[in-house]
Amino acid sequence: MPKVLISDKLSPAAIEIFRTRGVETDVKTGLSPAELRAIIGAYDGLAIRSASKVTKELLEAAPNLKVVGRAGIGVDNVDIKAATAHGVVVMNTPFGNAITTAEHAIAMMFALARQLPEASASTRAGKWEKNRFMGVELTAKTLGIIGCGNIGSIVADRAVGLKMKVIAFDPFLSDKRAVELGVEKVELPELFARADFITLHTPLVDGTRYIINAAAIATMKQGVRIINCARGGLVEEAALLEGLQSGKVAGAALDVFEVEPAKENPLFALENVVCTPHLGASTAEAQENVALQVAEQMSDYLLTGAVSNAINVPAISAEDAPRVRPYMELARRLGEFAGQLTQAKDGVITHVTIEYEGAVAQLNHKPLTAAALAGLMAPMITGANMVNAPVLARERGIEVTETVHDRASEYQTLIRLTIATKTNTRSVAGTLFAGSKARLVEIKGIPVEADFSRHMLYVTNQDKPGFIGRFGATLSDAGINIATFHLGRAAAGGDAICLVSLDEPLPETVLDAVRALPLVVQATPVTF
């Protein structure tokens, strides 16, 4: 039974789902990095929000970890590169808290416009300072949205409803989508120059870090108001502080901070700053959504191999998983077979071509390619799996080409893997027999029909009389039982191949004897 650790505060709905699905679940929140490192080795899955940090060091202490599930959107607390290198799938729940967070941004905009927190505090203190709090109307004001994805779009929709003029900067916002949303697409300098309110909704990545800094603030309208419910680090806090103190910025509403938890911050001293402790996603509805979704997704992956909303591997829907899984097995075995043959010869792999023919061409082939690469690399690189194999291939300069042919060949469905080294090219192909059983049907373009079995011996020989008798006698003299025997040849008297399944591994002495037989070109043991 797979075992999952929940290390941040998640709705109890998640535990319920994990347990119902048959996933053992522990909940341990508030752990220090060292405490988490000490126990993570026992788990197959880790469910988190933004508090737990999934670092390279944590991943190194997690040999059994297969999946990290982020109940929420931002994955900047996960070292994705290190997770991929360790073969760990990272998934998030990209939509579950989007409405809630957009509503928080709108609430923050109102709070700023009418100074609600200060007015509330003053009234509760019995001051009745009616003249102190003069607000601004939102109607007809210009809202500049930086990042018009899931959350930014919902903010745009709500702001249009409030009769604001909405302008947006997002390099991936199409003209058509902008029209649908009722926003005007602008470049960033224009947004800075025109907006009365600016709200941020981008991820924190190198290209967005300090997107609002001193230089940007200098180009903004006098009295601009800034809202950040996305990530601390998008706004340079020192520059914002200066802008607020000088009056250039009339107010700021911040849900997120450069350092979190934010317990001390010079911005807290200013009365035109509204702050919340990273509450954007904190509604009962959103937390229920993301907890249910992350638990379903992680259970699916651990129990069935279905992958959804993964940041670092291609998706396999729960519906497709039963159809894709036998092909993944076939692709992996072809990769393992080809890898073992290639390993037996000298030469660095330079190119891998994967052809999908017939029925398999209809499926999402990305996970199949990843599985084939994982099979190919597993004998050479410890820990290679379908998450990290494409990256490992890229790092090693291996060019990977996928070809999809809808037409069926002799087989109704076929995967062919061709491995090129500097000196050689080898190909193997396989099909699914009876819909799910992986079968090898071609080696080096020579037809053959063989199941993949635990211990195999692959021999290439000259197609001349005498080979089969001598080969059989060599094995039987050594007391080795042949379970299955398959022969194939390119043409009569030309190159021939022989593939046998054995009940046990072949001793080195017998392998040497086979290699020494007349007509044998090479003999390679292959294990699965």
Ligand X SMILES: O=C(O)[C@H](O)COP(=O)(O)O
Ligand Y SMILES: NC(=O)c1ccc[n+]([C@@H]2O[C@H](COP(=O)([O-])OP(=O)(O)OC[C@H]3O[C@@H](n4cnc5c(N)ncnc54)[C@H](O)[C@@H]3O)[C@@H](O)[C@H]2O)c1
Q: Supply the residues annotated as catalytic.
A: 231, 260, 278
- List 55, 122, 150, 213, residue binding ligand Y (CB under 6 A): 150
Considering only 72-80, 389-397, 446-454, 497-505, which stretch makes contact with ligand X by CB under 6 A? 72-80
Helix (H, G, I), strand (E, B), or coil: what is residue 130?
A: coil
Per-residue binding letters, 241-280, with ligand X (x by CB under 6 A) = -------------------------------------x-x
453 touches ligand Y (CB under 6 A): no
Does 72 bind ligand X (CB under 6 A)? Our answer is yes
Q: Which of 434, 430, 288, 298 lies closest to 372 in space, CA to CA?
A: 430
And the tokens for 409?
Answer: 């060949």
Residues 252, 467: Cα–Cα separation, whole Å: 84
Of positions 2, 45, 69, 74, contacts ligand X by CB under 6 A: 74
- By C-beta, is 72 or 358 nearer to ligand Y? 72
Side chain identity at residue 353, one-letter code? T
Dihedrals phi, psi of 152, to nearest 5 degrees: -55, -40
Sheet hosting strand 197-200, strand order edge to edge: 184-185, 165-169, 142-146, 197-200, 224-228, 249-254, 273-275
Two structure tokens written together for 139: 């109607």
Decide if residue 7 touches ligand X (CB under 6 A): no
For position 276 contacting ligand Y by CB under 6 A, the verdict is no
Paired sense of beta strands 249-254 and 273-275, if any: parallel
Give min distance, CB of 352 to ligand X, in A: 36
Which one of residues 47, 113, 256, 520 is an interface residue with ligand Y (CB under 6 A)?
Answer: 256
Residue 49 contact partner, candidates ligand X, ligand Y, none, CB within 5 to 8 A by sort of partner: ligand X
- Min CB(42)–ligand X separation in Å: 24
Residue pair 47/294 in contact by the 8 Å Cβ criterion: yes
State the helix-helix crossing angle for 284-304 and 98-114, rounded to 10 degrees: 150
Report the C-alpha gap between 230 and 152 in whole angstroms. 10
CB of 59 to ligand X, least distance (A): 20
* Class of residue 500 by CB neighbours under 10 A (exposed 0-12, middle 13-18, buried 19+): buried
Is 97 a residue that touches ligand Y (CB under 6 A)? yes
Regarding 155 and contact with ligand X (CB under 6 A), the answer is no
Q: How far is the CB of 508 from ligand Y (least distance, A)?
A: 56
Tell whether residue 170 is a contact of ligand Y (CB under 6 A): yes
Give the residue nearest to ligand X (CB): 72
97 binding ligand X? (CB under 6 A): yes
Of the pair 243, 280, the CB lying nearest ligand X is at: 280
Size of the site for ligand X (CB under 6 A): 10
> Cα dist. 375→47, 84, 337, 385, 386 in Å?
28, 16, 8, 8, 8
Q: Taking the CA atoms of the chain, what radius of gyration do you get in angstroms? A: 30
Query: 203 contacts which partner out of ligand X, ligand Y, none, CB within 5 to 8 A by kind?
Result: ligand Y
Contacting residues toward ligand X, per CB under 6 A:
49-50, 72-74, 97, 278, 280-282
Contacting residues toward ligand Y, per CB under 6 A:
72-74, 94, 97-98, 101, 146-152, 169-172, 201-204, 207-208, 229-231, 255-256, 278, 280-281
